[in-house]
Amino acid sequence: MKKSAQGHGTSNIAPTLIMAPMAEITTAPFRQCVRNFSSDVILHTEMLSAAALSTGAVHNEPLLQKTERDEPLVYQLLGSDPGQMSQACIILAALGAAAVDLNMGCSAPDILKKCQGSKLLADFDSARQIVKSCRAAFKGSLSVKMRSGYDSSDPVYLANFALMLQDEGVDYITLHPRHGRLGFRRTADWQLVAMLKNRLGIPVNGNGDIVCAEDAVSRLKLTGCDGIMIGRRAVQEPWIFRCCRDLLDTGSYSVHVNMCELFNKVLAGIGLLLPPELHKSRMHRFSYYFTKNFCFSHELFTKIRNVDKPEHASDIMNDYAERNPHENIRVFKGGSADGIHEGLDRT
């Protein structure tokens, strides 16, 4: 699967493997960790507040930093005011952004109270105005990450909403096929991804419940969608995109990982690249997911949660690796191009 230029934007981003934007997670250090395993995965910033950007709030500055290895990088915008959203697009374009994604998928209660994220799906006209204003302000790739609805997953409403996005100039859509009120409960309905792919003339990516490379390949074949976005599992296993690419290209994968070294590199990057006031939140969020790889994950994360500095968290991980060396050097391999979980070795 190759990237192809489609839609109104001038960027050629129509991704097949995508790291989801995640608050307090997809920092520059974490993005570099993902990039070390995959040269072609599309990366995202953390969610960026359009209100904060448009008013020049200084706390957004660390979230905007990027390195050459980040490219292609998509900046994700969160907001509900068309004027602020378009102004934020102008600011991002001036910073060199080639791609902007509009958040219509976040289901966090504090976001919904502001009529942002997936709450926008309940207001057809407001969503249209946001997209229209952003399209007029931004000439690069403009995409939308969305749920299948705000409080229900009506296929007719979803199709009409997505067609509106297409008509207003969105270049591609990423669908998480749960409605916003569900959060992450129940199972994602990937038939909705297939439905949108059949209805739209722009690329459609799917997101939700991908836990291994076999799942990604299976969903691609099931739906015919153009790409797969992975969020929570990719924080736990940043090498998953390498597994996906190898499985797509060769029918098998085998990835060796030094778990302690990977963890320490991300935390060192947090300490080096981010301001001190962000160290605790970012290292704790990453650690929450990554420690799930270990047998004594609860004990390990509890210890890390009780420290404030990245170097202290690294000391805890180093001690764990010394006491449990069999968990440090890991091999992740599999080999079914049909998406069947056979021969999967996660020792």
pLDDT at 339 over 70: no
Bigger pLDDT: 336 vs 228: 228
Model confidence at 335, in pLDDT bands (50, 70, 90)?
confident
Q: How far is CA 13 from CA 3, 54, 111, 170, in A?
A: 6, 25, 27, 12
Which pTM value belongs to this model?
A: 0.90
The answer to whether 275 and 62 are in contact (CB under 8 A) is yes
List the structure tokens of 326: 């069999």
Active site residue 225: no
What is the structure's pLDDT at 62? 87
Question: What does the radius of gyration of the chain's CA atoms come to, in whole angstroms?
Answer: 20
pLDDT at 47 over 80: yes
Q: Where are the domains of the chain?
A: 17-237
Extract long-range pairs of 153-161: CB within 8 Å, 24+ residues apart.
153/177, 153/178, 153/179, 153/189, 153/192, 155/192, 155/195, 158/192, 158/195, 158/196, 159/195, 159/196, 159/199, 161/121, 161/124, 161/127
What is the structure's pLDDT at 181? 83
Burial label, 30 (beta-carbon count in 10 A; 0-12, 13-18, 19+) = buried
CA distance 127 to 161: 9
Smallest Cα–Cα separation from 33: which of 217, 234, 288? 234
What is the structure's pLDDT at 336? 55
Tens-digit pLDDT profile for residues 149-179:
999 889 999 999 999 999 999 999 999 999 9
List the structure tokens of 272: 């080096």
Q: What fold characterizes domain 17-237?
A: TIM Barrel (3.20.20)
Catalytic residue, chosen from 33, 106, 212, 243, is 106
